[in-house]
Amino acid sequence: MQNNQSMGGLARLAAAVAVATLAACGGGGDDDGGSVVRVSEVAATTSKSTASVLPTTRWMPAVTDTWQLQLQGRLNTSYNAVVFDFDLFDTPQSTIDTLKSQGKRVVCYFSAGSSENWRSDYSQFTAADQGNPLDGWAGERWLDTRSANVRRIMTARMDLAKSKGCDGIDPDNVDGYTNNPGLPLTAATQLDYNRFLATEAHARGLAIGLKNDIDQVSQLAGDFDFAVNEQCFQYNECGVYAAFTTQGKAVFNVEYATKWKDATRRATLCAKAQALNLRTLVLPLKLNDNFRYTCD
């Protein structure tokens, strides 16, 4: 959509929006312990519906925020958590609306680095967009994250997240270059793609988490609002997340190993998590609601 305002008019409108938002937010504080970041730039995006984006605000989780992650089964929203990380496509609008009415924050999950043949937009990926299957995950293939078409689909998913009222997004599989994607992906192309995702999320007023991509955490911590990690304790990788926590950014960690169901081992795990300022859950690998242990 064409924007016919002059730059001077746009700047005045941006200032008015910022002042109004600051007043509405009570000076910038958040009742739930999170924070609000003001984005000063006007960003052009690749999505037609967001071709011109005014300065906006976005929520960021606080480093102390508790969380819940569930991607399969009947969603359990009864846990005492601030942030709920649920599937973008499968979560009913009513669930998001109810959580928001309770003062909760909703992070919406989708895979940004793989195609999934059960998704409603799967047919939009071309054969050239897709590489090797993901080992152990039926129906998924690595994506060529350099592809303009792949990026268009991902911005459309962010538009969906925005329209559903998600506060942030959890884009998965953003470390394809470290696997066997069957595509000429490199560390440089991954950095470019992940920063693209962050820029597009912020243009929509969405917070964005960096999912794993351990080798690039230090390079990307400044671009992302929080981190989501799987099994950093299992693989002795948690120390790298100081790049987030020293900036006051939340790190949401999930561990899957059944050994953590043992109360003694879990106590040791939680002591380490608290020392590193990580919000750690022990959950089933299928990410259903079969069991849940929290270190908070």
The answer to whether position 25 is within a domain reads no
User: Is residue 88 assigned to a domain?
Assistant: yes
Contact of 34 with 67, CB cutoff 8 Å: no
Token representation of residue 152: 């268009």
Torsion of CA 112, 115, 116, 119, to 10 degrees: 80
Q: How far is CA 40 from the centre of its chain?
A: 21
Q: How does DSSP classify residue 89?
A: T
Residue 57 has a pLDDT of 82
Could you tell me the two tokens for 213? 């991509």
Letter string b/e over residues 111-129, b meaning 16 or more CB atoms within 10 A of that residue's CB? bbbbbbeebeeeeebeeeb
Per-residue model confidence as pLDDT tens for the chain (296 residues) = 333 333 333 333 333 333 333 333 333 333 344 544 433 333 333 333 333 344 458 999 999 999 999 999 999 999 999 999 999 999 999 999 999 999 999 999 999 999 999 999 999 999 999 999 999 999 999 999 999 999 999 999 999 999 999 999 999 999 999 999 999 999 999 999 999 999 999 999 999 999 999 999 999 999 999 999 999 999 999 999 999 999 999 999 999 999 999 999 999 999 999 999 999 999 999 999 999 999 99
Ramachandran angles phi, psi of 50, nearest 5°: -130, 45
Instruction: Determine the pLDDT at residue 14.
Output: 38
* CA pair distance 276, 230, nearest whole angstrom: 15
Total structural domains in the chain?
Answer: 1
What single letter denotes the amino acid at residue 125?
A: F
CA distances from 182 to 47, 131, 170, 178, 216 (A): 28, 5, 24, 11, 21
The verdict on residue 242 lying in a domain is yes
Read out DSSP for 1-24? ----S-HHHHHHHHHHHHHHHHHH
Domain that holds residue 212: 61-294
Own/partner pairs, 84-92, CB within 8 angstroms, 24+ separation: 85/109, 85/170, 85/228, 85/252, 88/157, 88/160, 88/161, 88/164, 88/166, 88/169, 89/119, 89/120, 91/164
Query: Which residue, chain included where needed, has tokens 């608290």?
Result: 274
Task: Answer yes or no: pTM beyond 0.85.
Answer: no
**Residue 54 covered by a domain:** no
In a domain, 224, yes or no: yes
Query: Is the Cβ–Cβ distance between 128 and 144 less than 8 Å?
Result: yes
In a domain, 10, yes or no: no
- Domain contains 49: no
Q: Which CATH number fits the domain that encloses residue 147?
A: 3.20.20.70
Residue 116, in any domain of the structure: yes
